[in-house]
Amino acid sequence: MSPARPEKPEQIVPYPGHSPLTIATPLSIANRFSSLGSTVGQVRPSYQSTLVASYDPFSVDVPAGPSVAFKKSSPYFPKSNSHLFVIEPLYDVNTNPVEIAKHYFPPGFHYMPSSPYKSLKYYRDILLETKSVEIKPIKDRDHPEIILYHSLYIHQIISQEAFSSRPYELKLLQSKLQYNYSDYIDAWYTIFLHQSEDFSHSWFINFDNKFKCSFPYWFLHWWEKHGPVDEILPVSVLELILHYTKKAKFSKVELFFPKQLLFLARYKVPWILKWSYRITKDARIFARQFSVKWWDKFEVDRIAKYVYNDLPIAPMPRPISPTGSTRSSLSVDGKSKVELQELARQLILQAFQMDDDEETTLLRRPVVSPFRILLSLSPGMTTARILMMPMI
């Protein structure tokens, strides 16, 4: 009799239904945010200042979140810059980039709108009314005027075919404003440009439980800008992705997308996103840089049993005794646990690279990793061993 199938992992952070939008006064929306992962037990005086914007488009009445002191969290990993404009002689490149942005962009904007009415609220309404996302501001329980961060759950990503046979055709929002498919795509990028005055705002992003893992091709570009990177993922998650990459069956369309994206969407693995301005002084380039980090409270074990139930592990072959040269090249004597985890990460990433190279020439089948990488560290031992065994 086969073992009982474990239940699918529930959404790690539940979200409430969308509440009606309420426009707050500038004074009531002291938009000093606290970045996810910071200590919120003590509120700094700077939290009392007011946003440059005339209103907060995300100011929605929701139950306040808990006020707790966060433990030390994983660091942010910077992604590539998005060039916004060339800094003209009018501006000094040594000026604070925020001051340049305030002068360059319209009041209350962190981008140049193609039309005055295309505000953050406009793009937010597009995503909400198409039931593409669910957005929730998370507030501090003791200081509800402080929004700690926003959470965003992806429900669906509408393809051009599902939207309209012609992408220029217009649809109507409840506000009577119109939008086309190009505006819909822009909404996926612009929605994250909401920012606090001290640039500490962050986004908690995840896929909804009912998300069908269907992506239009343009979403690959979105993922490269806003999605997580291997460097922030724990070794245990990288191992699961490697197993998924080997065992899962991928359609021709799915082969176009990174296996990391397909895995995170299927098993609902969240990440955290934030951004800031950057100036390249030599080239006088004004840019926006996104950074991502791992959510330390995510319970990997909750999805591991589901992954291995979906994609069972083949019987393990008898371990091969390492040769002298192998022992030398994989020497781990005296290494700390952190160093061992980093070594395991590098080996897994090398296995991913080998798979990518193989997939380039053999697109007719899913990628296959040549190694299973196991990291074992026993309490009280100062030496650990990394074992590499052929993967069936």
Give the pLDDT confidence of 242-262 residue by residue, as tens digits: 999 999 999 999 999 999 999
User: Among 13-27, 37-51, 270-284, whose mean pLDDT is lowest?
Assistant: 37-51
Tell me whether residue 197 is in a domain: yes
Determine, yes or no, domain membership for 6. Answer: no
Q: Give the model's pLDDT for residue 360.
A: 44
Cβ–Cβ under 8 Å, residues 254 and 262:
yes
DSSP E strand stretches across 161-228: 171-172, 178-179, 203-207
- For the chain, the domain total comes to 2
Provide mean pLDDT across the span 77-92.
Answer: 93
Q: Are residues 217 and 334 in the same domain?
A: no
What tens digit of pLDDT does each residue of 27-73 get?
343 343 334 444 334 443 333 333 333 334 444 444 444 444 445 68
Report yes or no on 1 lying in a domain: no
Task: Check whether residue 318 and residue 276 sit in a common domain.
Answer: no
Task: Decide if 124 is inside a domain.
Answer: yes
The residue out of 258, 282, 303 marking a domain boundary is 303
Tell me if 234 sits within 8 A of 181, measured CB to CB. Answer: no
141 lies in some domain:
yes
244 within domain boundaries: no
pLDDT tens string 157-212: 999 999 988 999 999 999 999 999 999 999 999 999 999 888 999 999 999 999 99
pLDDT of residue 295: 96
Domain endpoint, select from 303, 332, 350: 303
Whether 109 and 219 share a structural domain: yes
Average pLDDT, the chain: 76
What is the domain range of residue 95?
A: 26-228+266-303
Confidence of residue 362 (pLDDT cuts 50, 70, 90): very low
**Sign of the torsion formed by the C-alpha atoms of 174, 177, 182 and 184:** negative
Task: Classify residue 302 as left (phi > 0), alpha (psi -120 to 50) or beta.
Answer: alpha
Q: Is residue 238 part of a domain?
A: no
Q: Are residues 342 and 216 in the same domain?
A: no
Looking at residue 328, its pLDDT comes to 47
Q: Which of 303, 331, 354 is the last residue of a domain?
A: 303
Whether residues 93 and 117 share a domain: the answer is yes
Whether residues 192 and 327 fall in one domain: no
pLDDT confidence tier of residue 369, bands split at 50, 70 and 90: very low
Verify that 220 and 325 share a domain, yes or no.
no
Q: Given this model, what pLDDT does residue 316 score?
A: 61
- Considering the domain architecture, whether residues 149 and 280 belong to the same structural domain is answered as yes
Residues 216 and 331 in one domain: no
Residue 366 has pLDDT above 90, yes or no: no
Same domain as 142, residue 61: yes
Mean pLDDT computed over 269-290: 96
The answer to whether residues 329 and 299 belong to one domain is no
199 dihedral zone (left: phi>0; alpha: psi -120 to 50; beta): left
CA atoms of 83 and 278, how far apart (whole Å): 9
Interatomic CA distance for residues 164 and 180, integer angstroms: 9
Residue 10 exposure: Cα atoms within 13 Å on the Cβ side:
3
pLDDT of residue 24: 42
User: Average pLDDT in the 126-134 region?
Assistant: 98
| pLDDT at residue 147, rounded to an integer | 84
For residue 223, how many other CB atoms are within 10 A of its CB?
A: 17
User: Considering the domain boundaries, does residue 145 fall inside one?
Assistant: yes
**Residue type, position 101, single letter:** A
Predicted local confidence at residue 140, as pLDDT: 85
Q: What is the pLDDT of residues 206-242, one digit of tens each?
A: 999 999 999 999 999 999 999 999 999 999 999 999 9
Quick one: 63 and 135 in the same domain? yes
Q: Whole-angstrom Cα distance, residue 154 to residue 265?
A: 9
